[in-house]
Amino acid sequence: MGVQTTVSVVRYSRCTWYSLASAHDNDRAEGGETVKVASAMLMAFGIGAILGLVLSGFTMKLLGPSGLFQQATVVAVFLGVYAIYRQLRRPVQPEPFIAKPAAQYSSGELDRAVRETAERS
């Protein structure tokens, strides 16, 4: 695989980490805790972004430009091992997940609403 392909695969796979972690946390949060969970996730993400930049600067100073990629590899491996560990330690959810949107409209209702709005204007 070429360097550009490898960099693209790593970059685009890492972009999904926050959204997946947020989805899993929100699924496990109780009804009134979603705001607390979201604020804790944003705070942890921000602290990690700050500390990651500082740590990558030290790593690059010690190892040269390749230190950035070595640090990214170590972090990715650590997160992968931790995710596997958590999956093995966490109890299985007793009930299957059923997606429930906050508001559910049929296409007929949406079409009628659009037509009424267009008639008024």
Higher pLDDT, 64 or 23: 64
- What is the residue-wise DSSP string for 49-107? HHHHHHHHHHHHHHH-THHHHHHHHHHHHHHHHHHHHHHHHSPPPSS------SS---H
Q: Which of 49, 25, 23 is nearest to 36 (CA)?
A: 25
What pLDDT is attached to residue 58? 92
Cα separation of 62 and 108, whole Å? Answer: 63
Residues 72-101: tens digit of each pLDDT: 888 888 888 988 898 888 777 667 767 766
Residues 33-64: tens digit of each pLDDT: 888 888 898 898 899 889 988 999 999 999 99
The DSSP letter of residue 29 is S
What pLDDT is attached to residue 54? 92
